């Protein structure tokens, strides 16, 4: 399913040491816990 594929792709980009660095910093600045990231499937998205 396309949604599951997209969610997994962006989840992997979040944990990538280089690609996810800015997104992880933003998540931390906003006070979002790792548990919330996992529970809600929070991940970066592509900006146009």
pLDDT digits (tens, 9 = 90+) for 27-39: 999 999 999 999 9
Q: How confident is the model at residue 48 (pLDDT cuts 50, 70, 90)?
A: low
Residue 4, token pair as written in the block: 């599951």
Residue 13, token pair as written in the block: 């980009």
- CB-CB neighbours of 23 under 10 Å: 19
pLDDT beyond 80 at 46: no
| Its pTM surpasses 0.85 | no
Is 34 a member of any domain?
yes
Structural domain boundaries enclosing 32: 2-40
Angle at 38 between CA 35 and CA 44, to 5 degrees: 120
The more confidently predicted of residues 20 and 47 is 20
Is 48 a member of any domain?
no
Closest to 12 in 3D by CA, of 23, 25, 27: 23
Is 31 a member of any domain?
yes
Q: Mean pLDDT across the stretch 12-37?
A: 93
Separation CA 18–CA 1 (nearest Å): 27
């Amino acid at each position: 399913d396309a949604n599951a594929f997209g969610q997994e792709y962006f989840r992997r980009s979040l944990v990538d040491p280089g690609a996810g660095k800015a997104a992880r910093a933003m998540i931390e600045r906003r006070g979002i816990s790792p548990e919330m990231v996992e529970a809600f499937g929070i991940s970066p998205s592509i900006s146009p």
